[in-house]
A and B are shown apart, each in its own frame.
Chain A
Amino acid sequence: MSRYAVNSLLYRLKKEPEFRARFQADAAAALTGIDLTEPERAAFVAHDMRRINELGGYLHLVMSVPGLAAH
């Protein structure tokens, strides 16, 4: 588990609308080249914010990424 990898990715998804749009169109492709473990990658591809939170994603990010947020 990489707290930095998971959270810096969440931060990009929140703050970079173009990256977010690419992710929403094809998550696996958008994550190409990003250093994630397989469980982390699977959670992001599934848009599974609960799992991302379990893997170290900070709560306030998983609750506030536009279009992907868990409430």
Chain B
Amino acid sequence: MGKIVFAGAMSHVLDPDYYQRACGDEGRRMVTDCMTEIARMGERFSATRADALIVVADDHLNAFSFNAVPALCVRIGTSVQRMKQDHAEAFDAVLDHMPEHYPLHEDLANQILEKGLGSGFDLAMSWEAPVDHAFLSPVNTMHGTRPIPPLVPIWVNCFVAPQPTPKRCFDFGRHIARVVAASPWNVGIIATGGLSHFPELSLPRVGETDTVFDRKLVHWMERGEHEPLQELTVGELHKTGEHEFLNWMVLIGAITPARAQVRYFGELRRINLAAVEWSLA
């Protein structure tokens, strides 16, 4: 019988140079501190010797063009490549130094997909979509030079309205938990992005955050109070710059009613950086 042996969530632009440019010395110092905690989380994850790592993250309009935008998509196949962008700028440049290919846990991905379709989750699938910084910045920060286990990348449409609801993401997480429990594998799961930044996806508002809303989310996660989280609306998340909390909702559904422990929380003008780990029985 399989088990979720590790669960963590964290911000996903983990690059001191990016924050130096965006926020100066304070940005470099804070993201470095956050990355230190995420690396420690990675050490604890590696110690579990898990068979796979599920990564729930979002696409920054890189993998999926406006040809199609899946609400929830499972990456299947045997390996995934990192996104390549010529003359990469801003958050895209974070990827440039990272390895190009990563193995996938094909069987687990297929089971999440196939059992999902069989139980009411009309998931999209992709054999080709590349992964951007939302996946690879946390994964590489967690592992450093240690081997990375086979991944199961899962995309949540966090940005292109209409998005899936927080409740739907939570319920999808419950589905993942059922698949893992029925499998022979020990599995880690991370969700990435956030916390509050880029409210309403408005360029003039880049540099604003909603720390009060962040602290409310953290409070509920620490206490294992997941009902109010499921009542959140996409509109609230859009207004407060919590778009990527949809990824976290998938993870919370997978480990409910576990309680979170905050490993790092830091307020920057541009984004509130966070690293959170759940205590699993």
Contacts and interface: CB of A to CB of B under 8 A. Distances in A.
Contacts of B92: 64
A66 B93 CA distance: 10
Nearest to A69: B89
A50 B160 contact: no
B90 A11 contact: no
A66 B203 CA distance: 17
A17 B86 CA distance: 8
30 contacts: A7-B61, A7-B66, A8-B66, A10-B61, A11-B66, A14-B85, A15-B85, A17-B86, A17-B87, A53-B201, A54-B203, A58-B61, A58-B159, A59-B159, A59-B201, A59-B206, A60-B61, A60-B91, A61-B61, A62-B203, A64-B60, A64-B89, A64-B91, A65-B89, A66-B87, A66-B88, A69-B89, A69-B90, A70-B203, A71-B22
Given A59-B198, A69-B89, A49 B160 contact: no
B160 A53 contact: no
B89 A50 contact: no
B143 to A, nearest CB: 25
A66 B66 contact: no
A60 B60 contact: yes
Give the contact-size bracket for chain A.
20 to 34
A11 B61 contact: yes
A1 B66 CA distance: 16
Interface of B: 22, 60-61, 65-66, 85-92, 159-160, 198, 201-204, 206
Contact of B89 (A8, A10, A59, A66): A66
A65 B92 CA distance: 10
Contacts, number: 64
B87 to A, nearest CB: 4
Nearest to B91: A64
A63 interface: yes
Interface in A4-23: 4, 7-8, 10-11, 14-15, 17
A50 B204 CA distance: 7
A33 interface: no
Contacts of A54: 203
B26 to A, nearest CB: 17
